[in-house]
Amino acid sequence: MGRETLAALTIFCSILAGLLHGLTLLRQRHAQIPLEPRGVPASLGTVNETLHFSAWHAWTCAAVLLLICEVLTADFLPTTFAIACGAAALVGATGHGTANQLVAFSVTLLVVLIFVRPVARRSLYHTSDKRLLNAAAIVGQTGTMVEPIAGAGATGRVKLGGEVWRAVCTKGNCLPEGTPVRVTAVDSSTVDVTPV
């Protein structure tokens, strides 16, 4: 797990804890305050009845915040937590208690982390381009000697695709200028060549 993902999850957990604490305080504080003194009709009841914050509201907010974190991290980890929050929200919306919501969250999280996330990461973040890059791409290329190799331990120059590289021949062959060669290895800026 990358640092960015860990930081995003830490921020999310802090926001979620603050949100849940705020909702709890709001319900406790305003549960019995009638709205009539402020000019709102008494038929609306108390603030608690009007706003009616339930646990599934918090789960839904958490899922939305996690999906926003996913946009910032692109690791598919926040999405797994968002799916688990969505499952807990569904259980809460159907009237089940907190224990059932936590069980739904935990089970869904484990299933998604173990089975869905690896498949999703492979399909979302795979690369179809398997070409070798940089020095590894040079191995196997053919070129022409532009400066001869005099023998074992000596260096020369080879032209590979428009670039001139320092060349050695570990087999100890003398390679005169103009000889076609194939690259067998790359060591820093020196290529090991053999005659074609």
Q: Go through the chain and tell me how many residues it has.
A: 196
Within 8 A by CB and 6+ apart from 193, the residues are 143, 145, 149, 158, 167, 168, 169, 175, 181, 182, 183, 184
Q: What is the pLDDT of residue 12?
A: 65
pLDDT tens for each residue of 14-51: 676 666 666 666 666 655 545 444 444 444 444 445 45
pLDDT tens sequence across 64-85: 998 988 888 777 888 999 999 9
pLDDT tens-place string over residues 78-127: 899 999 999 999 998 888 888 899 999 999 999 998 998 888 877 776 66
What is the set of domains in the chain, with CATH numbers? 3-124 (no CATH), 134-195 (2.40.50.140)
